[in-house]
Amino acid sequence: MIKAAVDNFSGKEPSKAKIWKSMQERDITMKIRDLLWKATHGGYWLGNKWNHIPNYKTRATCQCCQMKDSMEHILTDCKAIECKTIWKLVQDLWRTKIDKGYKPTLGLILGAPVIAIRDDDGKILPGATRLYRILMTESAHAIWALRCQRVIEHENDQAKAMTELKVKHYWTTIIQARLDQDRAQTNIHKFGSRAILDDKVLQTWSGTSRDEDNLPPNWV
């Protein structure tokens, strides 16, 4: 599924080895690597796995949509506020970088680390590629985290449900933190060979800030 999704998106099918290796990309945090690895292995307790557990059969069904729960449903199709709000935010931010929309699928999410964004001439765009990798994986993890909070911690209690505004704040805080992390990691005195070049940060985030024209030249 990942190979087909990546091939359809970028015109080049990755090998299985490349898919697994890409999940160890430096741009992907450990918690997200764990999500990608387990989701690709079908390692989460979702859907029919709950049918054999007394008193927990209801967890096999998404309470928002009354459909069988699955990682694909949770991350792409669920009507829950976190899913539709976060992907709308991703689309809006992505269009500031590349004027091209897309519909997130489970294959594209799990294959995000191996996808290369190219221009009309087929040349890889390093900044857009890195931004895509960060946006897709961070957003998927945010949806998963909020879903687990809603279903497991709050047990689908509507009184504790997230609002659209809270979801926006949650996601924006995560993406801002990644930008701040990038800026901090340009400190060569602190990080040495692990430091990120200023140009890499600029390539990744340029065009995404609301007041970018008012930023100082050395904002990185």
What is the structure's pLDDT at 125? 94
CA distance 25 to 95: 24
**Paired sense of beta strands 67-68 and 61-62, if any:** antiparallel
What is the structure's pLDDT at 212? 82
Three-class SS string for 73-84? HHHHHCCCHHHH
CA distance 42 to 45: 8
Q: What is the mean pLDDT of the chain?
A: 93
Residue recorded with tokens 């931004």: 131
pLDDT at 216 exceeding the cut of 90: no
What is the structure's pLDDT at 210? 80
Tell whether pTM > 0.85: yes
What is the structure's pLDDT at 6? 95
Instruction: List residues bridging with 68 in a β-sheet.
Output: 61
What is the structure's pLDDT at 155? 86
pLDDT in tens, 130-149: 999 999 999 999 999 999 99
pLDDT at 102 exceeding the cut of 80: no
pLDDT in tens, 31-65: 999 999 999 999 999 999 998 888 888 889 999 99
What is the structure's pLDDT at 91? 94
